[in-house]
A and B are shown apart, each in its own frame.
Chain A
Amino acid sequence: DQQVKQNSPSLSVQEGRISILNCDYTNSMFDYFLWYKKYPAEGPTFLISISSIKDKNEDGRFTVFLNKSAKHLSLHIVPSQPGDSAVYFCAASGLKGNQFYFGTGTSLTVIP
């Protein structure tokens, strides 16, 4: 049962433009959401998080938006840089458990 879904396996964006990565979830009990970036042969690296009491969180070039009614979150990267090329995972967790559920990832390629 895939509780967190990233429907786009890959995305290509020109350097300097906006990258938008999307994530959908099914469990309304999730209250904390995170985005991770992963390079090949490395562990996931935390990027940004948002709790369900907010609808937006910003950190430098990265902004996460949460739409609770649609059970949807997105990560915006502006401006995109070649070093942003990696696989991005969204993850979610809920009050009753400490398990984090990961999406399948979106491979972002930023073209110079």
Chain B
Amino acid sequence: EPEVTQTPSHQVTQMGQEVILRCVPISNHLYFYWYRQILGQKVEFLVSFYNNEISEKSEIFDDQFSVERPDGSNFTLKIRSTKLEDSAMYFCASHRVRTGELFFGEGSRLTVL
């Protein structure tokens, strides 16, 4: 069964460092998302991406964050200068049509020290 894959599963970084989280969405999907979940809190929307551009972003997604789809398969989230409060599970998700179910990856745990 097709699935969304994410790497790395866990990354530990020092505050101020740049981090890139990678996702390979399901191949025929057109809409891509990043969500995050800080430990014990709700799943929060960060950004959606369609047709090679950001279609919607939340207040969390400030200038420190960027997304890119450098080729036909990868979808990346970059955090330029990590802060302690960026520590969270980051989930990539995709779906083929806008009203379809979202398929989530297993998540990338980011720990900022």
Contacts and interface: CB of A to CB of B under 8 A. Distances in A.
Given A100-B45, A102-B43, A42 B106 contact: yes
Interface residues on A, range: 20 to 34
Contact of A102 (B42, B55, B101): B42
Interface in A36-90: 36, 41-46, 49, 51, 89
A98 B48 contact: yes
Given A98-B50, A98-B56, A99-B56, A43 B104 contact: yes
A43 B91 contact: yes
Contacts of B106: 41-43
Interface in B55-111: 55-56, 58, 91, 93, 98-99, 101-107, 109
A35 B103 CA distance: 12
Contacts of A44: 43, 91, 102, 104
A41 B93 CA distance: 16
Given A43-B91, A102-B42, A97 B56 contact: yes
B7 to A, nearest CB: 13
Contacts of A25: none
Contact of A42 (B50, B56, B58, B107): B107
B40 to A, nearest CB: 10
A78 to B, nearest CB: 22
B97 to A, nearest CB: 10
B103 A46 contact: yes
Interface in B9-51: 31, 33, 35, 41-45, 48, 50
